[in-house]
Amino acid sequence: MRDAHGRHRVVITGIGWVTPLGDEIDPVWQRMLAGASAMRPTAHFDASTFPTTFSAQVGEYDPKPRLRHVECHEGIGRNTAYALGAAAAAWRSSGIDSAKGVDHERLGIYLGSGEGVIDFDNYFASNLDGWDDEAGAVDTVAWAAAAGRRMQVVREAEQEPNMPLAHLAMEFDAFGPAYNCLTACAASTQAIGEATELLRAGVVDVMIGGGAHTMIHPLGVTGFNRLTALSTRNDECTTSSRPFSIDRDGFVLGEGAGMLILETLEHARARGATMLAEVAGYGSSADAYRITDIHPEGRGPAAAMQQALDDAGLEVGDIDYISAHGTGTKENDSIETKAVKRVFGDHARRLAISSVKSMVGHLIAAAGAVELITCVLALRDQRVPPTINLNQPDPECDLDYVPNVARDMSVSVALSNSFGFGGQNDTLIVKRFEDPQRQAAP
């Protein structure tokens, strides 16, 4: 039950998500296959004066019906709520709750998770409440009293990116390794990749891997607007996310979480788990180029994809489908296309490639995990989701991006890309699980 490198094989046994299209696996998947759009006018705050007035929001969400230790999670913010809900769904779907002999000291967590929502309104109101005109300064005692009235201290603690991690450890009694990375849009792909490495090395038996993030708040939107990274198609928001289209004008900010239960094959088999897929390969690279731009020749993304292929022991012709990073920005889509051609050569034109960001927006740190789950479902159902709003393909993006309509096709191996600001590039490869014991049986 080891791979060609002598490492433990790693399988996916549970999946869960909270997305702008919903929080149940199959209903959301069917909406994706149908080409549904989650883009709506922003409701989390008054965005009417911003260049971008819309986003892909989860809406009101309460994870408590899915949780065992509700008393541990009072006062949480959106990041933690999404992480808990998605992880609880993945945990339940894995069947691990009823498993015997799970060693909680060998149960770990690796998240790609971002900072929480910053409560600017109450922060500045507290400053004003504490202002002393005579002294010409903020009276710290008055400020503290005002802050105590206005600001939720527990919620403010979620400013730390590892708060979802801490809550997950409490919820699942995970006493093993607990890690959090915040490598921008590549974070949850990196988290799952590094979780896989811990399992391969035999450090743990089970890992909860994935990501959670929301940046739908004034600071997040302001930052991305100033970078001119967001679509400003306010009058056409439902069709605003247009990866690989000639008229794309930026990505749509989304939010949510994606979580997977990863196990060594030995552990999963011992408890009679259903193997949804196998994690075959992981690659990671840095562009070492610029903070906000991918290298124009796609050297970083190409390196990550090639590393993942090498790690999996696969050839380019073994890949059937790519879940593209596919943000809908001018630079990303054309450079990702170059990188795919650079790695896959002639096979690039035989690949099916799509971007579910066209439907759910860009979930930032959570994007990679949600997109990897779509790869698992594509392996299960032999269907790949479309890239919607692709009516005018960019001549520079001349590969098969599964425009507008989902496709029935044979999918044995899928590759998922995530590229983040700062030049972080991460790639995962998943494949249909093949049981060598069953094949060897007479």
pLDDT at position 149: 74
Q: What is the DSSP letter of 316?
A: G
Phi and psi at 185, nearest 5°, equal -70, -10
Question: Which element (helix H / strand E) includes 426?
Answer: strand 424-431
Tokens of 386: 């479309």
pLDDT at position 440: 45
Which top CATH class is 10-117+158-432? alpha beta
pLDDT digits (tens, 9 = 90+) for 209-227: 999 999 999 989 999 999 9
pLDDT at position 436: 66
pLDDT at position 438: 59
Specify the 3-state DSSP secondary structure of 245.
strand
Q: What is the DSSP string of 61-102?
A: ---GGG-S-GGGGTT--HHHHHHHHHHHHHHHHHTGGG-S--
Backbone CA torsion sign across 429, 433, 436, 442 = negative
pLDDT digits (tens, 9 = 90+) for 177-200: 999 999 999 999 999 999 999 999
Which sequence positions are flagged as catalytic?
185, 325, 362
pLDDT digits (tens, 9 = 90+) for 302-316: 999 999 999 999 999
Sketch the domain layout of the chain as residue ranges.
Answer: 10-117+158-432, 120-157
Phi and psi at 262, nearest 5°, equal -110, 135
Per-residue pLDDT band at 152 (split at 50, 70, 90): low
Q: Read off the pLDDT of each residue in 105-120 and give the average, rounded to a whole number.
A: 84
What is the percent of the chain where pLDDT is above 70? Answer: 94
Tokens of 282: 């992981």
Per-residue pLDDT band at 138 (split at 50, 70, 90): confident
pLDDT digits (tens, 9 = 90+) for 160-183: 778 899 999 999 999 999 999 999
Alpha carbons 429 and 279: distance in angstroms, whole number: 6
pLDDT above 80: residue 157: no
Tokens of 335: 């450079």
Pairing of strands 206-214, 107-113: parallel
pLDDT at position 441: 44
What is the percent of the chain where pLDDT is above 90? Answer: 79
pLDDT at position 141: 87
